[in-house]
Every structure is written in C-alpha cells, then in structure tokens.
Structure 1
Amino acid sequence: MKELVQFLAQQLVNDPSAVDVKETQGDTASVLELRVAKEDLGRVIGKQGRTAKSIRTILNAVASRTNRKVVLEIVEDR
C-alpha cells in the first residue's frame, strides 16, 4: 500500500522526488504518513480535501481485501 500512495502522490505533484511515504504497521491497522514539498501540499489535499479523500477511499478499498484498516496522514514539514 505504501507503493500505491507513493505512485499516486508522485503523479499529482510538481516535484516527485520530494514525495516520502512512511508506513507504520500495527496489529490490525497501518498508518501511512505522506510528506510532499511544501508547494505541492495543496495539490495533494485538493479543493476542500477532495483529492485526499479520494486517495483515502482507494486505500480503504485495497485494505478491505486483506481485512486491514489504513489511515493516511498528510504531514506538513516545517
């Protein structure tokens, strides 16, 4: 799933080399932290969060096949 988020984010942003995804596995859930360049943050989130919601929907569809939960966190670097 990490690769899926990385691929989707790289297609959306202007600086694909700045995309970084970290995965933390739990017993039944995984947490994915997505970091992008500061100027690309708006592209990943989208208007009113629509793009982020779409990415989360795709992730949940993939995760439901393996009976897991996935949480996507879009992290802003300072």
Structure 2
Amino acid sequence: MSELVRYIAQNLVDQPDQVCVDMREAEEGLTCELRVAQEDIGKVIGKQGRTAKAIRAIMAAAQTDDRRARLEIAEKAAAN
C-alpha cells in the first residue's frame, strides 16, 4: 500500500525526491502518513480536496482485508 501511495504522490508533485510515506497499524486499521514538500501540498490535496479523496478511494479499492485505511497528508520539515 505504501508503494502505491508513494508512486501516485511522486507523479503529482514537482519534488518527487521529497515524498515520504509511513504506514502505521492501529486498532481501527492502517494509517498512511504522506509527507511532501511545502510547495507540493496543494498538488496532493487538489482543488476542494478532490485529489486527496481520489487517493483515498484508490487505497480503499486496493485494501485486501476489511480494515480501514486512512490517509494523512503532512508537510515535510525543511532540512537545516
């Protein structure tokens, strides 16, 4: 699942090397944390959240069990 989200995000953003995906398991299901460069947040979220909603729909379709998959989008911290 993380490779799928990474592939989608890297093809949407201007800085694909800044894409970072972390998967965490919780009682309620999987949480996928997607971090991109500050300049690319808008591209991943999309107008009125449509792109993020589409990524979530793809994640739900790719899920092989009954667990819920969540997508969290965050800004990647700038390197000092």
TM-score w.r.t. the length of structure 2 is 0.88
In the alignment, is the contact (CA less than 8 A) between 2:18 and 2:76 conserved in 1?
no
Matches within 5 A, 1:1-78: 1-27=1-27, 29-63=29-63, 65-77=64-76
User: Which residue identity lines up with residue 73 of structure 1 in the other structure?
Assistant: E
Report the CA distance between 1:28 and its aligned residue. Answer: 5.1
Question: Any stretches of 5+ residues in structure 2 without a counterpart?
Answer: none
Secondary structure in 2 matching 1:14: coil
Instruction: Give unmatched runs, 5+ long, in structure 1.
Output: none
Question: Residue type matched to 1:74 in 2?
Answer: I
Is the partner of 2:66 in helix, strand or coil? coil
For 2:65 and 2:28, the matched residues in 1 are separated by 10
* TM-score relative to the length of structure 1: 0.91
Partners of 1:25 and 1:53 lie apart in 2 by 21
Deviation at 1:76, TM superposition (A): 2.4
